[in-house]
Structure 1
Amino acid sequence: MDEIVTRWINSWAGSNYILDAVVIAVTQFGAPLLVLFVVLQWWSGKDRDHVRHACIACGLAFLLGLGLNQIVILFIDRLRPYELGVTHLIIGRSTDASFPSDHATATFAIAFSLLAEGLRRRAIVAMMVALFISLSRVYVGTHYVSDLVGGVFMALLSTALVQAFYREDTKFDRMVKSIL
């Protein structure tokens, strides 16, 4: 099933120059733009302390998720779908393992953190962007759909860990916000 859905999403790649250009732009610039979205929230005029705490939580979940992915990769060294002839690649080759998707982990960690902090509108925007970025990785041929599922799971795990240990209005929280 994973291979079938992956092939179907990737089958659209190369059929329309404009669609390819848009999806390639999303896959290359989507995650940095989502990070920029979080950074810009720092200067939010409404509920500034809470939003700043949420921004830090996003950053921590983002980094923790990517770190946890590196541990998973030590045990699961999955080849990319284009290496096995499942997809055709329309961007440059990747050098690391396919599972879990770093893009899905990083972007969904941001979305889940915003949701966990009660910033629902921002979380919905981030969730839609994260989904589009993640699917773009299958479209361009670098991931299986199950790699995205693994990335979403890692994002949930990293967000849950950050929520458990990084609490708002603690001495540590106030110190971090004062430094930044």
Structure 2
Amino acid sequence: MNYKLFQLINHNAGHHPVLDGLMVFFTKEAMIVYALILLLMWFLGKDNYKQTVVLAALTGAIGLFINFILGHIFYESRPFITHHVHLLLPHVKDSSFPSDHTTGAFALALAVLWRKHGKIGSIMLVIPILTGFSRVYVGHHYPFDVLGSVLVAFITSGVVYKFQAVFKPLSKLIISIYNRVPLVPKREQNLSR
């Protein structure tokens, strides 16, 4: 079933230049888009936005660390190693499960969404959906790799959100250091969340 779903999505690759370009963009550049959004939140937002950026970064890092462990425990060859696929981009021949791109994208989006930044979080949530789909489309992952990544991101972001008070001293320290740097944009406020 996993391979059948993969074929259903991947068989379109290489036949539709506009769709190919869009999928390659989301596969390669989604994290740059996230970095820009988070930088804007940091530089233009008040301290509660900065705290969200710190928590999002922690969530992403923890999710990717979990992926690293899972990739060594549940090694799965990438689709282009075991099957004939329409490969739009070259990739190293490491474990296919889970998708780091998808985990990172969903972890960041959920961290922002759950911290009550609904408009930004909702916009950010569109990107990981497209990223996950693109990873299958370009031939790098199976659909279940992406679903596993969504699960890792959901659990990780939920745990970080639930225990955000544990990380609050770290985020306050980072924000405090930043706010002491001269000539950088600041919009301070009392951190109540």
- TM-score (norm. length: structure 1): 0.91
Per-residue deviation at 1:172?
Answer: 3.5
- CA distance in structure 2 between the aligned counterparts of 1:171 and 1:137, rounded to whole angstroms: 36
Amino acid at match of 1:79: S
Q: What pairs up with 1:43-54 in 2 under 5 angstroms? A: 43-45=43-45, 48-54=46-52
Alignment partner, residue 130 of structure 1: 128
Alignment partner, residue 103 of structure 1: 101
Alignment partner, residue 166 of structure 1: 164
Figure out how many residues of one structure are paired with residues of the other and give that number.
178
3-state SS, counterpart of residue 62 of structure 2: helix
3-state SS, counterpart of residue 39 of structure 1: helix
Deviates more, 1:134-143 or 1:3-12: 3-12
Given the superposition, is the C-alpha separation of residues 172 and 20 from structure 1 closer, same or farther in structure 2, using an over 3 Å criterion? closer
Q: What pairs up with 1:15-26 in 2 under 5 angstroms? A: 15-26=15-26
> Is the counterpart of residue 114 in structure 1 residue 112 in structure 2?
yes
3-state SS, counterpart of residue 43 of structure 2: coil
- TM-score (norm. length: structure 2): 0.85
Q: Which sections of structure 1, spanning at least 5 residues, go unmatched? A: none
Kindly indicate whether the alpha-carbon contact (under 8 Å) linking 1:58 and 1:110 is maintained by their aligned counterparts in 2: yes
Calculate the aligned-residue CA RMSD, in Å.
Answer: 1.8
Per-residue deviation at 1:22?
Answer: 2.4
Alignment partner, residue 12 of structure 1: 12
User: Alignment identity in percent?
Assistant: 28
Per-residue deviation at 1:134?
Answer: 1.2
Per-residue deviation at 1:131?
Answer: 0.6
Runs of 4+ in structure 1 over 4 Å off: none
Kindly indicate whether the alpha-carbon contact (under 8 Å) linking 2:78 and 2:93 is maintained by their aligned counterparts in 1: no
Per-residue deviation at 1:150?
Answer: 0.7
Kindly indicate whether the alpha-carbon contact (under 8 Å) linking 1:31 and 1:133 is maintained by their aligned counterparts in 2: no
Per-residue deviation at 1:87?
Answer: 2.8
Kindly indicate whether the alpha-carbon contact (under 8 Å) linking 2:81 and 2:93 is maintained by their aligned counterparts in 1: no
3-state SS, counterpart of residue 43 of structure 1: helix
3-state SS, counterpart of residue 65 of structure 1: helix
Kindly indicate whether the alpha-carbon contact (under 8 Å) linking 1:107 and 1:130 is maintained by their aligned counterparts in 2: yes
Deviates more, 1:98-107 or 1:84-93: 84-93
3-state SS, counterpart of residue 40 of structure 1: helix
Q: Which sections of structure 2, spanning at least 5 residues, go unmatched? A: 179-193
Deviations 1:158-179 (A, max 9, x none): 2123223332994433212112
User: Which of the two has higher C-alpha Rg?
Assistant: 2
Kindly indicate whether the alpha-carbon contact (under 8 Å) linking 2:6 and 2:143 is maintained by their aligned counterparts in 1: yes
Alignment partner, residue 37 of structure 2: 37
